[in-house]
Amino acid sequence: MGTRAGASRKDAAAPPPSPEGGAHAVVTTGLTKRFRGGQLAVDGVGLAVPRGSVYGFLGPNGSGKTTTIRMLLGLVTPTSGAWSLLGAPMPGGLARALPRVGALVEGPAFYPYLSGEANLRRFDAADPGADPRTARARIGAALERVGLTAAAGKRYRAYSLGMRQRLAIAAALLGPRELLVLDEPTNGLDPQGTREVRTLIREIAEDGTTVFVSSHLLGEVEQMCGHVGVMRAGRLVAQGPVAALREAGAAPRLRVETPDVAVAAAALSRAGLDGVRAGDGEVTAHAGEEPPERICALLVGEGVAVRGFGVVRPTLEEVFVGLTGEGFDVEA
Ligand SMILES: Nc1ncnc2c1ncn2[C@@H]1O[C@H](COP(=O)(O)OP(=O)(O)OP(=O)(O)O)[C@@H](O)[C@H]1O
């Protein structure tokens, strides 16, 4: 799987990174989960999450994202496969790695009548590895990090949706973390809350923390993440830098605006272009090797009234739909 040099399909020839990690915060090889009922939820997944990246784990509902995340954190036992977190092979290294990993998998249960700060105190006290003598500083730093210092004394029930989710992220940041794992952190948020969480994730990454964030929203991944892994029906179908994935999947197409659709389509086919599609007032085709200006001249030479001409690249959404075979909700 090509993850360092650029985006590639899962079956590309590049060797998988070593399970020890090194430059990667998370590495999995052949990670598989078959539930007792026989359901194959995750099927041979090979993730490579570069340290320092914001990695978007994208896939439609039910494609296996949560099950993968639960396996990474030791909450579900894989049927087969290997994985490492922060360079420690799992599951043996869980006790060593987990204190350096913050996770938000199922929203933490907060008491509505307690303040944000008091809720964090309860969380901190429940962590056997946390030194009570330094709790105050830890909680203060976590509230500061998510921008809730001013609202620390406010009751949780008075928090906006975005503030509630930021408090949940603060609970995952009680302590210095090298890796933050967030499962659908903007699910159910209003646009304002979504913006707040997205900005916060970017800020956390700027501090040097690797962020692994799952989402079924393509637009969100596009706005937050430099890297992406795309799941389809339990399998990882693509992985790499977002920009490289866009390039790799997006063969440019020629687009001709003309009232002479049939004539133009025939001329493009005769010129040897593949994938000629005639639409309403336009014809498109794979750009191929021929310089576009030559194609344009050829069309004009054949008497086609060319009203518009250009080379267009498919959107990232079109690339992903091609990979997953499903539509994505592009709103974020
Ligand atoms: N405990 C379980 N027992 C049996 N099947 C399960 C279990 N947990 C999940 N599954 C199934 O495994 C598949 C993957 O589910 P998973 O929750 O990992 O997907 P997802 O991509 O996170 O989707 P969503 O965003 O809807 O949570 C689904 O078909 C789901 O029904």
Do residues 75 and 190 both lie within one domain?
Answer: yes
**Protein residue whose Cα sits closest to atom 30 of ligand 1:** 62
List, for residues 217-258, the tens digit of each pLDDT value: 888 888 899 999 999 999 999 999 988 887 766 677 899 999
Q: Which residues contact 168 (CB under 8 A, 6 or more apart)?
A: 104, 107, 108, 110, 185
In which domain, by residue range, is 74 found?
8-248
- CATH number for position 153: 3.40.50.300
Cα distance from N-terminal residue to C-terminal residue, the chain: 29
Q: Name the stretches of the chain with pLDDT < 50.
A: 1-20, 330-332
Q: Is residue 321 part of a domain?
A: no
Q: Is residue 319 part of a domain?
A: no
Q: What is residue 273's three-state secondary structure?
A: coil
List, for residues 30-85, the tens digit of each pLDDT value: 999 999 989 999 999 999 999 999 999 999 889 999 999 999 999 999 999 999 99
Distance CA(324)–CA(318), nearest Å, equals: 10
Instruction: Indicate if ligand 1 lies below 6 Å from the C-beta of 69.
Output: no
Do residues 301 and 184 both lie within one domain?
Answer: no
Task: Give the pLDDT of residue 19.
Answer: 44
Do residues 206 and 287 both lie within one domain?
Answer: no
Contact 41, 200 (CB under 8 A): no
Instruction: Indicate if ligand 1 lies below 6 Å from the C-beta of 81.
Output: no
Do residues 284 and 160 both lie within one domain?
Answer: no
Do residues 124 and 217 both lie within one domain?
Answer: yes
Do residues 15 and 149 both lie within one domain?
Answer: yes
Task: Give the pLDDT of residue 2.
Answer: 32
Instruction: Indicate if ligand 1 lies below 6 Å from the C-beta of 134.
Output: no
Q: Is residue 323 part of a domain?
A: no
Task: Give the pLDDT of residue 4.
Answer: 30
Distance CA(332)–CA(324), nearest Å, equals: 19
Task: Give the pLDDT of residue 249.
Answer: 64
Distance CA(49)–CA(55), nearest Å, equals: 7
Residue length of the chain:
332
CA 297 from chain center: how many Å?
A: 43
Instruction: Indicate if ligand 1 lies below 6 Å from the C-beta of 37.
Output: yes
Contact 165, 157 (CB under 8 A): no
CA of 238 to the centre of ligand 1 (A): 20
Ligand 1 site-directed mutation target among 65, 105, 215, most atoms within 8 Å of CB: 65
Do residues 110 and 25 both lie within one domain?
Answer: yes
**Protein residue whose Cα sits closest to atom 11 of ligand 1:** 41
Distances (CA, A) of 77 to 91, 99, 104, 123: 9, 19, 18, 25
Q: Residue 83's beta-bridge partner residues?
A: 28
Instruction: Indicate if ligand 1 lies below 6 Å from the C-beta of 66.
Output: yes
Do residues 307 and 181 both lie within one domain?
Answer: no
Task: Give the DSSP per-residue string, 30-95.
Answer: EEEEE-TTS-EEEEEE--EEETT-EEEEE--TTSSHHHHHHHHTTSS--SEEEEEETTEETTTTHH
Task: Give the pLDDT of residue 14.
Answer: 40
* ipTM tops the 0.90 cut: yes
Token code pair at residue 82:
């290997």
pTM for this one? 0.79
Atom number in ligand 1 closest to CA 76: 1
CA of 93 to the centre of ligand 1 (A): 26
Helix H segments across the chain? Answer: 65-72, 94-97, 116-125, 135-145, 161-172, 191-206, 218-224, 242-249, 261-270, 292-301, 316-324
Q: Is residue 236 part of a domain?
A: yes
Task: Give the pLDDT of residue 317.
Answer: 75
**Protein residue whose Cα sits closest to atom 12 of ligand 1:** 41
Our count of domains for the chain comes to: 2
Q: Is residue 276 part of a domain?
A: yes
Task: Give the pLDDT of residue 327.
Answer: 54
Task: Give the pLDDT of residue 250.
Answer: 63
Task: Give the pLDDT of residue 8.
Answer: 38
Distance CA(331)–CA(297), nearest Å, equals: 40
Contact 56, 238 (CB under 8 A): no
Task: Give the pLDDT of residue 11.
Answer: 33
CA of 106 to the centre of ligand 1 (A): 13
Buried b (16+ CB within 10 A) or exposed e, 168-179: bbbbbbbbebbb
